[in-house]
Amino acid sequence: MAAAPLTIAILAGGAATRLGGRDKGLESLLGRPLVAWSLEAARAMAPESVLIVANRHLDDYAGYGRTVTDDIPGHSGPLAGLAAALASCATPWLMTLPVDCPEPPVDLAARLLAGAIEGMATAVVAHDGERRQPLFALYRSDLASAASLAAIRGQGPWGWQDAIGARELDFADRRAQFRNLNTPEDFIAYAAERSR
C-alpha cells in the first residue's frame, strides 16, 4: 500500500476517566471490544505491522496482537505510549491510531505517508478542517528518544508535535471519521447509528 514500510500503533493505554476508569479498548461495541474495531482498521492499512500500546489487562490485549507498554509509571498520557511504540518500531515510519475511534479514514496511512514524503517531514498529523487530531499522526521511528524525553518532562502530543515541526495534513473531507467514543452515551449512540 505504501512506498515505505509502516507500523501502526493502537494507543490503548488511557485511564478512560469518562468511562468510570474501565479499560476503553476492551469495552464492547456491537458485540466486539473496541480494540478489535481499531485492529481491523489498522490491518486494512498496514497488515504486516500493527502493535497495541496498553498499560493494563496486557494478557487480554496480547490475545489481539503484539502488545507493548510504556516505561513511565501510571497513566502518563499518550506521548508516553507513543514513545514506547516508537522504541518498539522496526520500520522507518510509525503511525498512531487511538483505540477509541472505531472507523478511521481508510486512506489515513497512505495520505499521511504521502504527505510526509512529499513535504520531507519527520512527522505529519491529521487536521479535520476544524482542529488538529494529534493522535492520528505519522512519525519517523528515529524520534523514539525525543518522544521519551518529552514524555518524561510531562509534555503532551500536541506540544511535542509543535516542537518537532510536525506538518498538519488536511483531512476535512473525512472529518466525520475522526469520531471517538469516550462515554457510555457515545457507545450507545454509535451502536444505534450503526444498527440502523
pLDDT tens-digit profile of 15-58? 666 666 788 999 999 999 999 999 999 999 988 899 999 988 99
β-sheet bridge partners, residue 139: 94, 123
- Measured N-to-C along each axis, helices 34-45 and 108-119 cross at an angle, to the nearest 10 degrees, of 50
For position 3, what pLDDT does the model report?
Answer: 40
Q: Tell me the fold of 6-195.
A: Spore Coat Polysaccharide Biosynthesis Protein SpsA; Chain A (3.90.550)
Grid cell listed for 162: 509543535
- Please state, in angstroms and as integers, the Cα–Cα distance from residue 106 to each residue in 20, 103, 109, 137, following that order: 30, 8, 8, 14
- Rounded to two decimals, the pTM is 0.92
Q: What is the pLDDT of residues 103-124, one digit of tens each?
A: 999 999 999 999 999 989 999 9
Q: What mean pLDDT value characterizes the chain? A: 90
Largest CA distance in the chain: 46
Residues 123 and 167: beta-carbon distance below 8 Å: yes
CA 2, 80, 164 angle in degrees (round to 5)? 60
- Domain coordinates of the chain in residue numbers? 6-195
Task: Characterize 15-30 residue by residue with b for buried, 16 or more Cβ atoms within 10 angstroms of its Cβ, and e for exposed.
Answer: bbebbeeebbbbbebe
For position 2, what pLDDT does the model report?
Answer: 42
